[in-house]
Structure 1
Amino acid sequence: MKDLISHQLVKYLEDRGVEHIFGLCGHTNIAVLAALEKSSIQFINTRHEQIAAHAADGYARAKKQTAVVLSHLGPGLTNAATGVANAALDSIPMVVIAGDVPSHYYGKHPHQEVNLHADASQYEIYRPFVKRAWRVDRPDLFPEILEKAFQLAESGRPGPVLVDVPMDIFSKEVDVALFERLKHHTKTIQKPSIDEETAKQIIERLSNAKYPLIYAGGGVMLANAAEELREFVGHLGIPVAYSVMGKGAVADDHPFALGMTGFWGTQFVNDKCRQADYILALGTRFAEADCSSWEPEYTFHFPPTKLIHIDIDANEIGRNFPVEIGAVADLKQALTVLNRVAKAMVPQGMQKEALKQEIASYKKEFTAKNHVHIENPSFPMRPERILQEVREVLPRDAYITTDVGWNKNGVGQQFPIYEAGTILTPGGYCTMGFGAPAALGAKIAQPEKVVVSLVGDGGFGQNPAVLATAVEENIPVIWVIMNNSAFGTIAGLEKAHYDTTYGTVFKKEGQSYSPDYASIAKAYGVDGVKIQSAEEFKPALQRAIASNKPFVIDVAMLNEPVPTSGHWNILDIYSPNEKKSHVSTDEFVRL
């Protein structure tokens, strides 16, 4: 029996458990859209392909399932590229299915084809950042490619793949037996673990170390290994520092949770990492900002500190620091073995009350230092007060998405996260414009959870058309726009090093300028509030949560850079040998 490729594609996705597809129409993919009309799969229609890709990214993180993006060729594919690259650098599984020019027009340069170096080569645009890019040249090859695409996206270090399909192939018939055959293939690949002997070596070194430390990365969440990590930490009493992507791996109110490292980390956390004699690193690539540009006097010092590194990707082990014990393994499997061996070798566990008290004292002192800012009634609001009041209002298990700037760096440093996987942030690519659409995907994946997007006005302004999708699909996300009328972090850097904010602040005729995002929200059909005083913010957020509708809160915020004692080498590039910080000499950038 034969059937259209487009029909069999939709049936395959249904059988695989796909419930949502994110995308935007084009003449190359409408055969698929027509097939989706009667499907159980819901098509999330967006106004821009970057929104689709970021929403799919947020969906994959919150649902812990491979996301699917449907794209048009040419500008559709390039519009989506930023979101797909963001997913790639954060190891998020995604299958991008894109239409392409008709196969019988290869070499003729048909409408919207990208072919300046080779005919029918648009799929190669994605090669630098996807795990693999396929071009489907025959209908009978499509079923096998599709199966391989999902398997590759989900295996090893997860990430996006591209399946590029000439539009005529979507409308060709294929023997359905080729798709039926795929049902006999497993949809779950067993992942590697560590052996008993390696686990014993690791436990021996950690239990005998004077100052052991665990460094948790985003791989903990990707492996769904937070519960196993908490068990391990509790038994051996080892403090946990984390990368920006590792935040939430252990709840921030856990007695052994230290905090975030690197440039936006604190002196206490960075010093604990430098003083450690053994560090067990889990699922981290030791990124530059998390590691203070890898300079040994600030965060990590290997050697003399000795490193044990477990990661699913062998390429990350030893990339930036020398490793004493390296293991390629799935963290959930590895921690299961480590917990079993730890309980056998150290049956009573390890009690470290003095360390608990030291960490508790640090947290109390850090909170006290912020208290003056949190209680400050001034308007525009202090960013610390915004974050504090958001945390007070939100349930413990609420989902937070961030963008870049104060809403990312300040959240990483100061905003407690209590449940693993509930903070979605653009780590590797640091994409401005991620937070607002990622919240759509998170809410679709977790409809019973409160989802709040903390974004700057620069980031929200990238793609305000997220509001149209929220209205059409009834997605009750709350966007808190921390509005400093600037690309604030970059404005601070430029002011500190070049004594100007040229090109980084928003002005009209010399005066600070910002669109009225609350009014824009209302024009889309979304409830919107423009905050006029600090006292109005918290009640507005409570009202937004209670409404269970899409809601925009536009709150003017003082543009003061995130305070930090950390280090980033770009400061030395701007001002060599001057030891300048990211904060202007006027203490903050007055706009």
Structure 2
Amino acid sequence: MKELISKQLVTYLENRGVEHIFGLCGHTVIAFLAELEKSTKIKFINVRHEQIASHAADGYARVKKQASVVLSHLGPGLTNAATGVANAALDSIPMVVIAGDVPSHYYGKHPHQEVNLHADAAQNEIYRPFVKRAWRVDIPELFPEIMEKAFALAESGRPGPVLVSVPMDMFSKEIDTALFEKTYYNTKTISKPSIDDETAAQIIETLVKAKNPVIYAGGGIILANASKELSEFAEFLSIPVAHSLMGKGVLSDEHPLILGMTGFWGTKFINDQCKNADYILGLGTSFKEADCSSWYPEYTFSFPPTKLIQIDIDPSEIGRNYPVEIGAAADLKQALKVLNRVAKKLYPSGKKNDVLRKEIIGNRQSSQAGNVELQQSSAFPMSPQRILADVREVLPRDAYITTDVGWNKNGVGQQFPIYEPGTILTPGGLATMGFGAPAALGAKVADPKRVVVSLVGDGGFGQNPAVLATAAIDNIAVIFVIMNNGAFGTIAGLEKAHYDTTFGTIFEKDGKPYSPDYAAIARAYGVEGIKITAADEFKPALKRAIELNKPVVIDAAMINNPVPTAGHWNIMDIYSPGKKVHHVSTN
């Protein structure tokens, strides 16, 4: 029996357990949309810009822990979505992008909106640098096989996005239903690689004999859902745990062995613990530049004399930035299960280090005490520390937080306690401004029972305020907290420090500060909008927003002071060679 591909694709996605698709219409995909309307299992989240769709799908996949689906039109639709897809790629987030393409019978004729400057019907090439694979469907009978491969590749190994570019006529072709039905017999869960007992024993013996071992955990722990196993291993051998920005939340920030975030925005205590370690066990981390103080040995990591043991699902990451003594390519959850079992066999009583625990807790208390004055300040515009402290006090412990870039990312990584693994969603590798607000939409759609707050700057929120239209239409109860410093604040602080100007970074009109009234904009979209006029108004406003259980924008004016830094970033040497200059306040 033959049926339309568009109809069979909807059935296929339903059978895969897809519950939501994020996207935007176009003439190349309306045949699919017409069939999707009939589905009782899949909801289409309609957006006003494709970057919103891809960022929302990113947030959704992080919470759902399965590949999300983006639907895009050809040409400008695909290029609009590209930033969000690239962000997902650099953060290893599984995503399947289904994009309409030019009709297959018009290849070479340069039809409407075709990308064709170097090859005919070549829009799929746009995504080649950052997706795991880009397919173009040239033969309708191969479409079922391509879709099955696309999901498997997105979710296996190191996760990431894939592209399936579909000439629009393919949606309207009929193929034998047996071709899609054949895929239903294929497993949808692939067993993941682990390590052998011999390798585990070698790692454990090395760590037990080490004088100052440190576990360094990255976002791979979150992706592998391995926080429980990590906690068990660290506690059994009493090894402190530091983390990258993307590793924020691998363990609760209350855990007695958690050190915190390293690198440029890490504290001196945390960076020194890593720098002075004789062995570091790197788990699911790429040792990125900002996390490693541009790899300068005097600030965060010093390999050698420190020696590195590294486990990662992606073998290309092992030894990429630092030499490795023991390396293993494995899924972190599976590897830690073996490490825990072998550790208990070799050392049934484990190891204790009460002195270390007291030192970690003491440093944490000291750091927190140093922030109290700013956290309690009634000054207005508000201090960012006050905003973060009030948010943490009001939010449930398991609430999801999404960040953008700037204070809301770097300050959160440094100062905002996360209690549940995977509840902080931040743009890491691409550090994309504009990520936070739409990612929060996706997170709330994926887990509607939990509170979701987007901490976002006015620069980031201003990029795609149309996110409010989707929030209003589908009643997606995200709370958007706009930390409004009237600037691209981090860059303003950099430019002021090194060049004594803020040209192009401060929002002004006729020489005076300028900011849209984001609360009024929210109300225009049909969303609750609250404009904060005094610091003491903020906490009650946030409490009310949670109680409303509907989308709310809270616009809070904030001073533009830089996040304190103890590490280093090589860009400072590029701007001001031979000088010790970082950021400055622009207030």
Indicate the residue corresponding to 1:458 in structure 2.
459
What is the alpha-carbon distance in structure 2 between the residues aligned to residue 94 and residue 228 of structure 1? 26
What is the alpha-carbon distance in structure 1 between the residues aligned to residue 312 and residue 61 of structure 2? 20
Indicate the residue corresponding to 1:228 in structure 2.
229
1:474-553 aligned within 5 A: 474-553=475-554
Indicate the residue corresponding to 1:37 in structure 2.
37
Can you list the C-alpha shifts for 1:44-103, whole angstroms capped at 9, x where unaligned? 000000000000000000111110000000000000000000000000000000000000
Note the aligned Cα RMSD (angstroms): 0.5
Can you list the C-alpha shifts for 1:169-217, whole angstroms capped at 9, x where unaligned? 0100011101111111111111100000000000001111110100000
Gaps of 5+ in 2: none
Indicate the residue corresponding to 2:315 in structure 1.
314
What is the alpha-carbon distance in structure 2 between the residues aligned to residue 128 and residue 65 of structure 1? 22
Indicate the residue corresponding to 1:237 in structure 2.
238
Can you list the C-alpha shifts for 1:540-576, whole angstroms capped at 9, x where unaligned? 0000001001000000000001011110000000000
Can you list the C-alpha shifts for 1:414-439, whole angstroms capped at 9, x where unaligned? 00001110000000000000000000
Letter in 2 for 1:431: T
Indicate the residue corresponding to 1:395 in structure 2.
396
Can you list the C-alpha shifts for 1:298-332, whole angstroms capped at 9, x where unaligned? 00001111100000000000000000000000000
Gaps of 5+ in 1: none
Moved segments of 4+, more than 3 Å: none
Indicate the residue corresponding to 2:350 in structure 1.
349
Indicate the residue corresponding to 2:586 in structure 1.
589
What is the alpha-carbon distance in structure 2 between the residues aligned to residue 316 and residue 357 of structure 1? 34
Can you list the C-alpha shifts for 1:123-146, whole angstroms capped at 9, x where unaligned? 100000000000000110100000
Letter in 2 for 1:163: V
Indicate the residue corresponding to 2:192 in structure 1.
191
Indicate the residue corresponding to 1:336 in structure 2.
337
Q: Is the 8 A contact 1:241 1:257 kept in 2?
A: yes
What is the alpha-carbon distance in structure 2 between the residues aligned to residue 81 and residue 183 of structure 1? 30
What is the alpha-carbon distance in structure 1 between the residues aligned to residue 458 and residue 432 of structure 2? 14
Q: Is the 8 A contact 1:214 1:239 kept in 2?
A: yes
Letter in 2 for 1:13: L
What is the alpha-carbon distance in structure 2 between the residues aligned to residue 207 and residue 8 of structure 1? 56
Q: Aligned-pair distance for 1:375?
A: 1.4
What is the alpha-carbon distance in structure 2 between the residues aligned to residue 104 and residue 398 of structure 1? 50
1:269-308 aligned within 5 A: 269-308=270-309
What is the alpha-carbon distance in structure 2 between the residues aligned to residue 304 and residue 223 of structure 1? 30
1:561 aligns with 2:562: yes
Q: Aligned-pair distance for 1:475?
A: 0.3
What is the alpha-carbon distance in structure 1 between the residues aligned to residue 451 and residue 112 of structure 2? 43
Q: Aligned-pair distance for 1:38?
A: 1.1
What is the alpha-carbon distance in structure 1 between the residues aligned to residue 186 and residue 42 of structure 2? 22
Indicate the residue corresponding to 1:249 in structure 2.
250
What is the alpha-carbon distance in structure 2 between the residues aligned to residue 461 and residue 144 of structure 1? 41
SS of alignment partner, residue 184 of structure 2: helix
Q: Aligned-pair distance for 1:500?
A: 0.2
Indicate the residue corresponding to 1:17 in structure 2.
17
- Which stretch shows the higher mean deviation, 97-106 or 344-353? 344-353
Q: Aligned-pair distance for 1:357?
A: 0.6
Indicate the residue corresponding to 1:28 in structure 2.
28
Q: Is the 8 A contact 1:86 1:431 kept in 2?
A: yes
Letter in 2 for 1:589: T
What is the alpha-carbon distance in structure 2 between the residues aligned to residue 522 and residue 540 of structure 1? 15
Indicate the residue corresponding to 1:412 in structure 2.
413
Indicate the residue corresponding to 1:449 in structure 2.
450
1:411-430 aligned within 5 A: 411-430=412-431
Indicate the residue corresponding to 1:326 in structure 2.
327
Indicate the residue corresponding to 1:439 in structure 2.
440
1:8 aligns with 2:2: no
SS of alignment partner, residue 61 of structure 2: helix
What is the alpha-carbon distance in structure 2 between the residues aligned to residue 184 and residue 33 of structure 1? 26
1:577 aligns with 2:581: no
Q: Is the 8 A contact 1:571 1:582 kept in 2?
A: no
SS of alignment partner, residue 114 of structure 1: coil
SS of alignment partner, residue 128 of structure 1: coil
Letter in 1 for 2:21: I
Letter in 2 for 1:78: T
Q: Is the 8 A contact 1:381 1:558 kept in 2?
A: yes
SS of alignment partner, residue 98 of structure 2: strand
What is the alpha-carbon distance in structure 1 between the residues aligned to residue 180 and residue 540 of structure 2? 54
Can you list the C-alpha shifts for 1:7-32, whole angstroms capped at 9, x where unaligned? 11110000000000000000000011
Q: Aligned-pair distance for 1:526?
A: 0.3
Can you list the C-alpha shifts for 1:250-272, whole angstroms capped at 9, x where unaligned? 11100000000000000000000
Indicate the residue corresponding to 1:81 in structure 2.
82
SS of alignment partner, residue 98 of structure 1: strand
What is the alpha-carbon distance in structure 2 between the residues aligned to residue 326 and residue 35 of structure 1? 49
1:265 aligns with 2:262: no
1:100 aligns with 2:101: yes
Identical-pair percentage: 75
What is the alpha-carbon distance in structure 1 between the residues aligned to residue 291 and residue 32 of structure 2? 42
SS of alignment partner, residue 26 of structure 1: coil
Q: Is the 8 A contact 1:312 1:331 kept in 2?
A: yes
1:206 aligns with 2:207: yes
What is the alpha-carbon distance in structure 1 between the residues aligned to residue 301 and residue 579 of structure 2? 23
Letter in 2 for 1:130: V
What is the alpha-carbon distance in structure 2 between the residues aligned to residue 457 and residue 53 of structure 1? 20
Q: Aligned-pair distance for 1:351?
A: 1.2
SS of alignment partner, residue 417 of structure 2: coil
Indicate the residue corresponding to 1:163 in structure 2.
164
Letter in 2 for 1:174: I
What is the alpha-carbon distance in structure 2 between the residues aligned to residue 198 and residue 54 of structure 1? 39
Letter in 1 for 2:577: P
Name the count of aligned residue pairs. Answer: 586
Letter in 1 for 2:586: V
What is the alpha-carbon distance in structure 2 between the residues aligned to residue 445 and residue 351 of structure 1? 40
Letter in 2 for 1:97: I
SS of alignment partner, residue 337 of structure 1: helix
Q: Aligned-pair distance for 1:582?
A: 2.1
SS of alignment partner, residue 184 of structure 1: coil
- Normalised by the size of structure 2, how large is the TM-score? 0.99
Q: Is the 8 A contact 1:282 1:310 kept in 2?
A: yes
